[in-house]
């Protein structure tokens, strides 16, 4: 039979740990009960140097942050606006009776429905070159509408509240004069002197937020919608757009109660010898393009 003695080493360590923990808790309490001792000034030679806050450098991250305007401090970042409506369809009808002028008339129609809450109004992006003559809500005149050229916004009051999911067909008639340029919005190009014919041209560049310069819209790529566009231009000009070509319809100026533009003489160039003006067009053609796949309105 073995006589086993109890092992007290583990117990000793546990008691020691408990004593140390009690002392650690008691030390700040004991310090609070002691009278405050005034600090003794350190000798001049032993005084540590004063800690100074480093001076701001113009080369610091805040000064060179491209998201912040260095002169004004303005935040230059662009935040997506919350869509308050589901945009179901967008249709644009343009009439360009004279290609020598950087202007046109149009009707933009957007089909939408409120999201989340009932809505009585809408604000769209609209360039300062757009002048609105009429706005209709489901075929009836809107209660009011007003454009703000400085903020490039169009504010429309429906005249009543529409519930979430309730369809709204919003039609806006307007004229556009110099709706962009320099590669933004709708840019107009003069007659090219290197060609024998008169060949004015317009081309659109909407990315990333420039399409509002030539038609009213929610001009941010966080919203996708099917689109169609009908562009009427003088013959023999053509209009090309996204999607697929649905039809081309020929019509006379007289049928639209329009006066044909004056004859245009080509700009003198290396390929032009006669300089004879081209006769005025008698007809126009409407090109109907449709994009069924929902895409950002900015594309």
Q: pLDDT tens-digit profile of 113-166?
A: 999 999 999 999 999 999 999 999 999 999 999 999 999 999 999 999 999 999
Strand, helix or coil for residue 23? helix
Domain-located, residue 62: no
Q: Residue 204: its pLDDT value, please?
A: 85
Residue 48 in any domain: the answer is: no
Is residue 35 included in any domain, yes or no?
Answer: no
In a domain, 5, yes or no: no
Distance CA 255, CA 242 (A): 28
Q: Which residues contact 99 (CB under 8 A, 6 or more apart)?
A: 200, 201, 202, 233, 234, 237, 261
Q: Where are the alpha helices (DSSP H) in the chain?
A: 9-33, 61-64
Query: 132, 106 in Cβ contact below 8 A?
Result: no
Q: Which two tokens stand for residue 183?
A: 């590669």
Strands, DSSP E only, in the chain? 85-95, 103-114, 119-125, 130-137, 140-141, 144-148, 153-162, 168-177, 180-181, 184-189, 201-205, 224-234, 244-252, 283-296
Q: Could you tell me the residue range of the domain that residue 122 belongs to?
A: 85-296
The total number of structural domains that make up the chain: 1
Question: Residues 63, 69, 70, 72: what is their CA dihedral angle, to the nearest 10 degrees?
Answer: -130
In a domain, 21, yes or no: no
In a domain, 53, yes or no: no
Does residue 238 sit in helix, strand or coil? coil
CATH number of the structural domain spanning residue 230: 2.60.40.1730
pLDDT, tens only, 243-282: 999 999 999 999 999 999 888 766 665 444 555 667 788 9
Tens of pLDDT, residues 189-247: 887 888 878 888 888 887 778 899 999 999 988 889 999 999 999 999 999 999 999 99
State the DSSP code for 242. S
pTM of the model: 0.72
């Amino acid at each position: 039979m073995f006589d086993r003695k109890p092992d007290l080493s583990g117990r000793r360590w546990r008691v020691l740990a408990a004593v140390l923990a009690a002392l650690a808790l008691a030390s700040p309490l004991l310090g609070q009960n002691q009278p405050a001792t005034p600090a003794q000034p350190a000798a001049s030679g032993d005084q540590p140097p004063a800690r100074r806050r480093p001076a701001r450098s113009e080369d610091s991250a805040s000064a060179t942050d491209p998201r912040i305007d260095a002169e004004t401090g303005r935040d230059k970042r662009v935040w997506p606006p919350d869509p308050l409506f589901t945009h179901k369809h967008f249709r644009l009808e343009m009439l360009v009776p004279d290609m020598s002028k950087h202007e046109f008339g149009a009707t933009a129609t957007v089909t939408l429905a409120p999201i989340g809450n009932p809505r009585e109004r809408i604000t769209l992006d609209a360039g300062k070159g757009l002048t609105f003559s009429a706005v209709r809500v489901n075929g009836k005149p809107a209660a009011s509408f007003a454009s703000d050229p400085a903020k490039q916004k169009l504010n429309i009051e429906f005249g009543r509240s529409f519930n979430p999911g309730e369809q709204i067909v919003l039609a806006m008639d307007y004229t556009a004069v110099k709706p962009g340029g320099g590669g933004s919005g709708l840019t107009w190009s003069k007659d090219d002197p290197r060609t024998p014919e008169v060949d004015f041209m317009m081309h659109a560049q909407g990315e990333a937020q420039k399409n509002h310069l030539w038609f009213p819209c929610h001009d941010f790529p966080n919203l996708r919608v099917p689109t169609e566009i009908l562009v009427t231009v003088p013959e023999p000009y053509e209009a090309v757009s996204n999607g697929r070509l649905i039809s081309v319809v020929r019509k006379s100026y007289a049928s639209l109660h329009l006066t044909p533009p004056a004859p245009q003489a080509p700009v003198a160039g290396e390929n032009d010898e006669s300089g004879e003006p081209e006769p005025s067009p008698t007809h126009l053609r409407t090109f109907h393009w449709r994009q069924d796949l929902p895409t950002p309105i900015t594309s």
